[in-house]
Structure 1
Amino acid sequence: MGEITRGGPSRRHVLASGAAAAGLGLAGIRPALSAVEWKKHAGTTLEVNLIKGPRGEVLQRHAQDFTALTGIKVSSELIPEQQQRQKLVIELTSGRPSFDVAHLSYHVQKRQFDKAGWLADLSGFLKDPNLTEPSLREADFSPAGLQYAKTPNGEMRSLPLSVDYFILYWNKELFQKKGVALPETFDDMMRAAETLTDPKAGTYGFVGRGLRNANMALWGSFFLAYGGEFLDAKGNILTDGPEAVEATKLYQRLLTKTAPPGVVGFNWMESMAAFTQGRAAMWIDGVGWAPPIEDPNASRVVGKIGYAVVPKGPRAHASATYGDGIGVAQASTKKEAAYLYCQWAVSKLMGGRLLQIGGGVPFRDSILNDAEVQTGVKMPGEWLGSAIGSSKISKLGLPVVVPVAEFRDIVGAAVTATLSGADPATELKKATDQYRPILERSEKA
């Protein structure tokens, strides 16, 4: 893998690119005027727990704007993702969290937070015109965002903040050299990948996550395209059915026949390195990787890359979706003030800032489609189009369960095993049988 990563963007450079861009001018974004009683809780101080990264950093950097709007002071803490998740669980379990506002990773924590009731129901606040701007409506969030934010009982226990749609990145130069058209279906994509693979030239048709656990994000895209559902109506896991087997066969074929050597050990970083060096023609991954791809200091393919919605699968057209939200701790004594912060965090102003620097994509359709916001987007127009298109076909890329890490480890190991020649049906059955009791125990807890 050393050869693949040499010359590619470093992890520090990738994560810094969004933060560094935050100083750019933000064209066309103006705070909205409304009847909201923004100053109602002036003088209050909120404690805010944020995930370190472009989203959290933008919120922390512009907290003074929120204070100017509301008179509410903000004391925020930025914590690396894994440690932040642990801190949330420990403090919320204690019943005495040190924070009023929590930034959460939906695809990992959704079910756990719902079961525990750790976050306050915001439904009443959303309906109060004295607390909520008219533009902030449930219908403005993408379907996946609402599915993440709402409990099975219909309570809105957080506001969807930033979404990671999986899209198709493609190298126009390599496609043109081989006379290949942008694939519209998964069958087209497989044929294109085979045509574009030229080991003698050091170029390959496809690259993606092959590493156990990390690979579940890519595999989920294929599973959804084959019509897969992670859970049935009773909550039983469905990762050994025909949809899962066919999805894994495609994954196996793409990564063994058309991907660079060593792909079995690739996470997003290694995949990006191969792609930004021009060694791969296609890459399916999160929508947020455009800034390093378009950075001449980190990429050899600047100006050569196209961005598209993932191709249609045999039974469905879906963009595997992951994301994060922001909510109010149930134990907080400052719920209204904390809600005002959450509303500000998902506002046009803040969502536009995030989108324009390429640091994230808001869950709100009105921000994505706003002409004023679009004028200041620094990424190519195709990138924005892929995000807008993906929002219309968004579907959760992981099951909504408490033991998500165990799911990714166990099923991910099965999928990785197929890259060494193991039979997909056999491996998936073993993995599903191993995972099923873990899931059942978690639901009984």
Structure 2
Amino acid sequence: MGKGYQGIVWFVVAILTIIGLSGMVLAQDQPYAGTTVTIITWDTATARAIEKLIPEFEKATGMKVDWNVFAEPVLREKVIADLAAKTGAYDIFLLDGWQTARYARAGYVAALDDLLANKKSEYFCEDFAPIYLDALRYDGKLWGLPYYGHVGILMYRKDLFEEKGITVPVNTDELMVAAEKLTDKANNKFGMAMRAIKGEDNPIISTSWTWVHGGEWLDENMKPGVTSPEFIQGAKWFSDILKNYGPPDVSRYSWLEVQNTFVTGNTGIIFDASDFIGRIEDPNLSQIVGKIGYALAPAGPHGPVTERYASHLFTAGMGINADSKNIDAAWLFLQWMTSKDIQMRTMIEGGNTGITSVSAMASEEFSNTYPGVPVILEALKLANPDYMPHIAEYPELCESIGTQISRTVTGEASVEDAMKIAYDDMYKVLEQAGYYQ
């Protein structure tokens, strides 16, 4: 570790307590005074809420924080360019849980285990939801701290359910029927919306449902599993419910379009990220506040939700650049920004609903501010962090599956034909990576 590491244990604890709880200035030693740490993340409520609190950290530590926020596509380009060039321009960067294996194997991100080895820092990780923390592990090591997370839940118009005599679906057949009852295409009203855009944005949703039907990306021999009867059945269900009961342009929907069609009252049911609650319950942004119900995703034909939950699990961690010249200072800031107290403040003051702290999620402040919290907590217990594979080739496999499933929603290809193309693409990627030698 860098110079002064052994002497800052008390300082870390004091900073987390003093800044996190009251914003007071620490008057004692400031081992990193004058050091600038540079962070890059995406533009979310979480990022904007943390940014407002950074001056408190700077005042207490004497450090400077260069906080850079970008839209997701720009973020990805900048991060990979810096990591590949090994310039260390960004000390801390957003680490997608599904990309952890890729970045760790490439040597781009610093393992945090040595930094956590001191017992006085160890307590810090115990408050994270284990499923979020585990998403940032690879090869037995921890590569980031959970900065933001969500899990899949069903969000629906409880007023329309009551009006049409619909009960909350407990299985995928019932969800299909509910979507049909809510669809009135002549009046631009639709039953169900989910992400179906080409590329990597849809598999986190679509393969939640192939998982529910018993399908998996890869079989026990690491061969593509997307042509299995179970995967085909799940992909057909996903395609059918959107083709028949979704908005006409749903094949181009990312998370934002799913959110928009719901808050404008055009679609009665969505399945997506639990952190949607911040916007869909905001009277300044949503036309349906007070009319929303929350439920676990229904079971599929392959078993109860306790065995095969439509997980839609996502964790955004913050990792330390392996080429950073300020690893110890970056570690101090990383602990502060992901601490329970900062998460509580960003939730209360900034609308951050993607919190990863168990105690913050279980707090009265969270449950009193946002409905649906009990459902979120239950979904986190049921979600499987391995419903998609944590391997370095994830991005290429994800792109292929997402592109082909989107083609089935447009009607451009049958599920069987599309999944055969996905199989061939995936096989080539895995073969080139050496899985079949």
Aligned position for 2:16: none
Q: Classify 1:271/1:334 alpha carbon distance in 2 versus 1 (closer, same or farther; 3 Å).
A: closer
1:280 matches 2:267: yes
Correspondence 1:161-180 to 2 at 5 A: 161-180=147-166
Contact persistence 2:408–2:414 (CA under 8 A): yes
Give % identity. 27
1:155 matches 2:141: yes
Contact persistence 1:402–1:442 (CA under 8 A): no
Give the 3-state SS of the residue equivalent to 1:231 in structure 2.
coil
1:212 Cα offset (Å): 1.8
1:443 Cα offset (Å): 5.8
Q: Which amino acid aligns with 2:106?
A: A
With the length of structure 2 as denominator, give the TM-score of the two structures.
0.83
Correspondence 1:36-435 to 2 at 5 A: 39-107=30-98, 109-130=99-120, 132=121, 134-137=123-126, 140-152=127-139, 154-213=140-199, 214-232=201-219, 235-315=222-302, 316-356=308-348, 357-371=350-364, 373-374=365-366, 378-379=369-370, 381-382=371-372, 384-396=373-385, 398-419=388-409, 420=411, 422-435=413-426
Aligned position for 1:5: none
Q: Which amino acid aligns with 1:415?
A: I
Give the 3-state SS of the residue equivalent to 1:227 in structure 2.
coil
Q: Which amino acid aligns with 1:374?
A: F
1:393 Cα offset (Å): 1.9
Give the 3-state SS of the residue equivalent to 1:323 in structure 2.
strand
Contact persistence 1:167–1:390 (CA under 8 A): yes
d(CA) in 2 for partners of 1:133, 1:30:
19
Contact persistence 1:401–1:439 (CA under 8 A): no
Q: Which amino acid aligns with 2:314?
A: Y
Aligned position for 2:7: none
d(CA) in 2 for partners of 1:328, 1:133:
17
d(CA) in 2 for partners of 1:158, 1:42:
24
Q: Which amino acid aligns with 1:228?
A: G
Contact persistence 2:124–2:339 (CA under 8 A): no
Which whole-Å deviations, capped at 9, do the CAs of 1:313-371 have from their partners, x for residues lacking one? 33312421112111212222322221111111210122223433443422232221134
Q: Which amino acid aligns with 1:413?
A: T
Aligned position for 2:13: none
Q: Which amino acid aligns with 2:115?
A: F
d(CA) in 2 for partners of 1:100, 1:265:
35
d(CA) in 1 for partners of 2:222, 2:60:
44
Alignment length (residue pairs): 404
Aligned position for 1:20: none
Q: Which amino acid aligns with 1:170?
A: Y
With the length of structure 1 as denominator, give the TM-score of the two structures.
0.82
Contact persistence 2:100–2:143 (CA under 8 A): no
For structure 1, list consecutive stretches of 5 or more residues without a partner in the other structure.
1-28
Contact persistence 1:255–1:263 (CA under 8 A): yes
Give the 3-state SS of the residue equivalent to 1:163 in structure 2.
strand
1:234 Cα offset (Å): 5.1
1:135 Cα offset (Å): 4.4
1:404 Cα offset (Å): 4.3
